[in-house]
Chain A
Amino acid sequence: DSGVTQTPKHLITATGQRVTLRCSPRSGDLSVYWYQQSLDQGLQFLIQYYNGEERAKGNILERFSAQQFPDLHSELNLSSLELGDSALYFCASSVGVGKYNSPLHFGNGTRLTVT
Chain B
Amino acid sequence: AQTVTQSQPEMSVQEAETVTLSCTYDTSESDYYLFWYKQPPSRQMILVIRQEAYKQQNATENRFSVNFQKAAKSFSLKISDSQLGDAAMYFCAYRSQSGNQFYFGTGTSLTVIP
Are both chains from one complex?
yes
B99 near A98: Cβ-Cβ < 8 Å = yes
B interface residues, tally (CB under 8 Å): 26
B43 near A100: Cβ-Cβ < 8 Å = no
A interface residues, tally (CB under 8 Å): 26
A37 cross-chain contacts in B, Cβ below 8 A: 43
A55 cross-chain contacts in B, Cβ below 8 A: 100
The reply to whether the CB of A104 lies closer than 8 angstroms to some CB of chain B is yes
Question: How far apart are B25's CB and chain A's nearest CB, in angstroms?
Answer: 14
Q: Please choose the segment from B61-69, B75-83, B101-109 that sits at the chain A interface, where 4 or more of its residues have CB less than 8 A away.
A: B101-109
Query: Which residues of A approach B to under 8 Å, CB–CB?
Result: 33, 37, 42-43, 45, 48, 50, 55-56, 88, 90, 92, 94, 96-106, 108-109
Query: Which residues of B approach A to under 8 Å, CB–CB?
Result: 31-33, 35, 37, 43-47, 50, 52, 91, 93, 95-102, 104-107
Between A and B, 6 residue pairs with Cβ closer than 8 Å are: A50-B100, A97-B98, A100-B98, A101-B52, A103-B50, A105-B47
